[in-house]
Amino acid sequence: MSKWKNFPHDTSPFIFDGDNLRETWPDLHHGDCVVFPDADWVGHCLGQAPDAAPESFDGDTSALAAVIQDAWRSFHAGDFHRATVLAGQCGQLAHAAANKAEGIYATYLEPDETLQQKHYLSAIARAETAIQFLPDDPNSHYFHAFNLGRYSQSISVIKALSQGVGGKIHSSLQAALELEPNHAEAHTAMGMYHAEIINKVGKMIGKMTYGASERKALQHFDRALELTPESPIAHIEYGNGLYLLFEDDRLDEVTDLYVRATELQARDAMEKLDVEAALAEME
């Protein structure tokens, strides 16, 4: 794959050296519910799924945890390529860092549509492997759905539905939410799932064929905002979902959600990209 583009903004506010990562972790990961990957967590995971370790693992859980933490440091600082490379050294234990990094990179920084889709497909394949090794990790399922959703948008939602992608997204989001009901990003994604289907095929077919409804979309969006009121993407996607469902009839609410997103303080590189995307939409 071609050279990855650099994060185009100042990274200094998003450097989490040493213990700063652990201290800031609850705010950084309130939306995706990823557990801080210390040595105890690594040991617990490998006790449940020993085959999830990298082939080079020598039993040093502290050393493996340090690499996983560095993958996340790279993600939060906008070095999405390094995050993916480091995560790849950790077997399946850093799948979330790799799949979030590659998905966010493709969404915001890769201008070539063909390469963008290759990134999504790479993350989807990685997530499918993670589901095999770590089926009880909600983020194995969530990042499968996240990248499938982005991929479907890149090829057109209608085409994706005809290929059966919609059912896969729904199943993975359901699995994520059953394992972690407070997964705000999964609630946002589920809201978008319902909204996009209704927008593309209508209420009746959406409900009969895919179980989609306006009520469910709004419930998931509301829950995401309740869980993460300081998340730019929760506001942005709620606005996008409202527009898909109601178009100009609720444009004032859409605008208010976008304005709120632009007013929030970005806590890492991903949120900086979210805020900048909202600002660009309002120009």
Domains parsed from the chain with CATH numbers: 181-283 (1.25.40.10)
Give the per-residue pLDDT at 278: 96
- Residue 151 clears pLDDT 70, i.e. is over it: yes
Mean pLDDT value across residues 237-247? 97
- Residue 261 clears pLDDT 90, i.e. is over it: yes
Give the per-residue pLDDT at 19: 96
The answer to whether the beta carbons of residues 278 and 256 sit under 8 Å apart is: no
B/e letters for 243-282, b = 16+ CB within 10 Å, e = fewer, are bbbeeeeeeeebeebbebbbebebbbbbbbbbbbbbeeee
Mean pLDDT value across residues 94-98? 98
Q: How many percent of the chain have pLDDT more than 70?
A: 100
Mean pLDDT value across residues 20-28? 98
- Residue 1 clears pLDDT 70, i.e. is over it: no
pTM: 0.96
Give the per-residue pLDDT at 165: 85
